[in-house]
Structure 1
Amino acid sequence: MSMEDDRQVPPTLRPNPNVRQNQNYQPPPTPVKPMPMGPRYMPDEPNRRGLCACITIVLLLVGLLILVLWLVYRPTKPHFGVISAAVYGLNATAPPLMTTSMQFTIVITNPNRRVAIYFDTLDAYVSYRSHPITTPVALPALYMEEHSSVSVSPMIGGSPVPVSPDVSNGLAMDEAYGVLGVSVIMQGRLRWKAGAIRTGHYGIFVKCDVMMSFKKGVSGQVPLTGAPACYVDV
């Protein structure tokens, strides 16, 4: 190397002739600056809050829609009324068994102008002083359109039913007096229908107190002593 070449090399990069060069020498690695520690996953809080707000708004709108539909289509209980009665058998002289056969004409009215009614099941029996004196009879399934009425005339009884002496003695006294008071009980399940919406099943209980003129030995149609009032619970 000439003197001119030595002048072009910086002094710090010139080899020191007094130091023996190590062929396996490697410069130390450059230190890496550590990264700051933090959570591996940071949820997107604004998106989560927006999703919760959307769900809340949708639920409120659905609840408001259901409330409006209920107020518009709010169903009213059906009405029941007994308009005629007939007695074909009343054997109260052989306790503890008693055989009764009666027929009642019952008018069922749907007072709703926007809601129809399905009577899926409806059973009827006759009781005297809160004691059954006939076996239940199943009425046919009914579908009542909006603001409509239908009459049914089930024949109830015909099979022997065990009764207490108080019941048989009370019936004998009413026969002698000429006025017989019984209750027509109906129980079943119904559904409401508003447009394309159908509700679940609801239990229904109906009690019609009937007072009729009746004397021993009479068979057939008997006059009612008043307009029977029916209690309806749904």
Structure 2
Amino acid sequence: MTDAKNIKVCDHHKDKRRKIFRRIFAGILIFLLIVLVTILIIWAILRPSKPAFILQDVTVYAFNASVPNFLTSNFQVTLSSRNPNDKIGIYYDRLDAYVSYQNQQITYRTSIPPSYQGHDEVDVWSPFVYGTNVPVAPFNFVTLSQDQSNGNVLVIIKIDGRVRWKVGAFISGRYHIYVRCPAFITFGPRSNGIVVGENAVKYQLVQRCTVSV
């Protein structure tokens, strides 16, 4: 009888502990659910807008396609980014700038230092992007040579990276950001650039970029 009573007492304590654990677990779940719903409501009300990028100018120091299917180029690009949100900050955790032609990357990637952009703030970056003897697909090289002979080459200044949003004390997870800025580079008699140094030509563009997040 004593053993049976002890077993019943133990089972009773086990059941009691299970109920306590279940209540604690349910309380944690409810708390997390409330926090998540609150964040989603705040997020929906604030509706973060994508940053606005503008390609201000491009300075060309080198653009040499004399070797078949290879390109050597050196650009300095000036880009500005504005945070259009009144109550949301933006962390730029990683940004890489490079240049492409006909959807083919023609320079190496240049990293832009991480930064934080407050409400309605504007940041300006002027990275150098370059490539030495970068292979170009034969069909793209033919088009590139023709465009250069015609005096007008369209390249795309690209920025890829990751951003986070800051709402009060809440910081979101990382989101991919893709920035695309078209730039017309003119050569020869048709050039509208300004000579700023030996073999360096600056093009004032003030071109709005497309941004995807």
TM-score bucket (shorter structure): 0.7 to 0.9
Q: Which moved more, 1:170-179 or 1:82-91?
A: 170-179
Shift in Å, 1:131:
0.8
Structure 1 residues 155-170: aligned runs within 5 Å: 155-170=128-143
Which residue in the other structure is 2:80 paired with?
107
Larger radius of gyration: 1
Which residue in the other structure is 2:57 paired with?
84
Query: For 1:71-96, what per-residue CA distance to the aligned partner results, in whole angstroms no more than 9, with x for missing partners?
Result: 24432111111121121111111023
Query: For 1:136-183, what per-residue CA distance to the aligned partner results, in whole angstroms no more than 9, with x for missing partners?
Result: 111111211111111111111042211122222222222222222000
Which residue in the other structure is 2:90 paired with?
117
> Is 1:174–2:153 an aligned residue pair?
no
Structure-1 separation of matches of 2:84 and 2:57:
21
2:212 partner amino acid: D
Structure-1 separation of matches of 2:52 and 2:87:
16
Which residue in the other structure is 2:210 paired with?
231
TM-score, normalisation: structure 2: 0.77
Structure-2 separation of matches of 1:63 and 1:75:
17
Which residue in the other structure is 2:202 paired with?
221
CA shift in 2, pair 1:56/1:220, >3 Å:
closer
Structure-2 separation of matches of 1:99 and 1:57:
60
1:228 is paired with a residue whose SS is: strand
Which residue in the other structure is 2:161 paired with?
188
Shift in Å, 1:210:
1.7
Structure-2 separation of matches of 1:62 and 1:84:
45
Structure 1 residues 1-234: aligned runs within 5 Å: 40=8, 51=23, 58=31, 61-215=34-188, 219-224=200-205, 228-234=207-213
State whether residues 71 and 131 of structure 2, in contact with CA within 8 Å, keep that contact through their aligned partners in structure 1: no
Q: Which moved more, 1:206-215 or 1:189-198?
A: 206-215
State whether residues 65 and 71 of structure 2, in contact with CA within 8 Å, keep that contact through their aligned partners in structure 1: yes
> Structure 2, unaligned stretches of length 5 or more?
1-7, 192-199
Structure-1 separation of matches of 2:139 and 2:26:
68
2:177 partner amino acid: I
Shift in Å, 1:68:
2.4
Tell me which stretches of 4 or more aligned residues in structure 1 moved more than 4 Å.
40-44, 50-60
1:232 partner amino acid: V
State whether residues 54 and 80 of structure 2, in contact with CA within 8 Å, keep that contact through their aligned partners in structure 1: yes
Say which structure is richer in strand: 2
Structure-1 separation of matches of 2:164 and 2:124:
19
Q: How much is the aligned-residue C-alpha RMSD, in angstroms? A: 3.0
State whether residues 179 and 215 of structure 1, in contact with CA within 8 Å, keep that contact through their aligned partners in structure 2: no
Structure-2 separation of matches of 1:100 and 1:176:
16
TM-score, normalisation: structure 1: 0.71
1:212 is paired with a residue whose SS is: strand
1:120 partner amino acid: D
CA shift in 2, pair 1:209/1:198, >3 Å:
same
**Count of residues in Structure 1 that have an aligned counterpart in Structure 2:** 197
State whether residues 214 and 222 of structure 1, in contact with CA within 8 Å, keep that contact through their aligned partners in structure 2: no
Structure-2 separation of matches of 1:198 and 1:76:
15
Shift in Å, 1:135:
0.8
Q: Which of 1 and 2 has higher RCO (CA within 8 Å, sep 6+)?
A: 2
Which residue in the other structure is 1:29 paired with?
none
1:230 partner amino acid: C
